[in-house]
Amino acid sequence: MRGDRGFPVRVRFSKHGKVRFISHRDVARAFERAFRVEQLPLAFTEGFSPRPKVSFGLALSVGHESDAEYLDVELTDAVDTDSLSERLTPALPEGMSATGAARLIERAPALQESITEVQYRVTTVDGRGRPVPEEVLDAAASSALASDALNVARVRKGKESVDDIRPALRSIEVGHGDESPVLELSLLTQPRGARPREVLDALESFVGVGLTEHRVTRTSQWIERAGARLEPLEADGFALVPETSAS
């Protein structure tokens, strides 16, 4: 039966391998195609060029991989969210997989406004492609976290500015990787976030050599509400209220 209020759904997906080089726009097109292939009951915008009502979370940089990306889609009829990810994955490009789905409450806050923290796994090498010793990165991470400010250069609309990314840096941990040490970054998104590349720029002054991204994976995203740290599929999930029989 058609729902009077629509059926909003949040989908989690991953992006690995060569597909990491496609743009955010191409990802959106891939999902719109998958929705059509699976004949989902999409809700559309009004106007001369109706588009499916789909909104994505924070954009992922081209070349980065991810275990946890999210989108919200508005449907006109109910679907089985438990099986939705299994339906969508075969219709997506190789390297992209839907890994979970949940029905949302009505008028759930937009993903881009809700995400408060993102985590990354970064492997890095120096300018000559050689691994930077773990103890060097560990010392640089400790120095960065102890700093009052971490200034990096940014370019906006053709103009360069210097911004302090220290408020966005929640934690840095250094671990073992297969070929080089791994940086585990936790970055806050509000009031202004930071990119992994900018964290490496800040660390360079402590390391004494240039740092190059070897591989970057966004491992998780979080929404913080009333002191609770929630995974986006949980944060605004629709909870069914069991019906009570009349006495």
Amino acid 4: pLDDT:
46
The pLDDT of residue 3: 40
| Predicted pLDDT of residue 205 | 86
CATH architecture of 117-225: 2-Layer Sandwich (3.30)
Tens of pLDDT, residue by residue, the chain (247 residues): 334 468 999 999 999 999 999 999 999 999 999 999 999 999 998 888 888 999 999 999 999 999 999 999 999 999 999 999 999 999 999 999 999 999 999 888 999 999 999 999 999 888 888 888 888 899 999 999 999 999 988 887 878 888 999 999 999 999 887 777 899 999 999 888 999 999 999 999 898 888 888 899 999 999 998 889 999 999 988 875 444 444 4
Distance CA 115, CA 231 (A): 9
Residues 190, 2: Cα–Cα separation, whole Å: 38
Residues 33-42: contacts with CB under 8 Å, at least 24 apart: 33/91, 34/88, 34/91, 34/92, 35/73, 35/88, 37/91, 38/87, 38/88, 38/91, 40/73, 40/75, 40/79, 41/7, 41/75, 41/76, 41/77, 41/79, 42/73, 42/74, 42/75, 42/76
Alpha carbons within 13 A on the beta-carbon side of 43: 18
Question: What pLDDT was estimated at residue 93?
Answer: 96
**Which CATH code for domain 2-109?**
3.30.70.580
135-169 pLDDT, tens per residue?
889 999 999 999 999 998 888 787 888 899 999 99
Ranges in the chain annotated CATH 3.30.70.3190? 117-225
Pinpoint the residues of the chain covered by CATH 3.30.70.580. Answer: 2-109
The pTM of this model reads 0.89
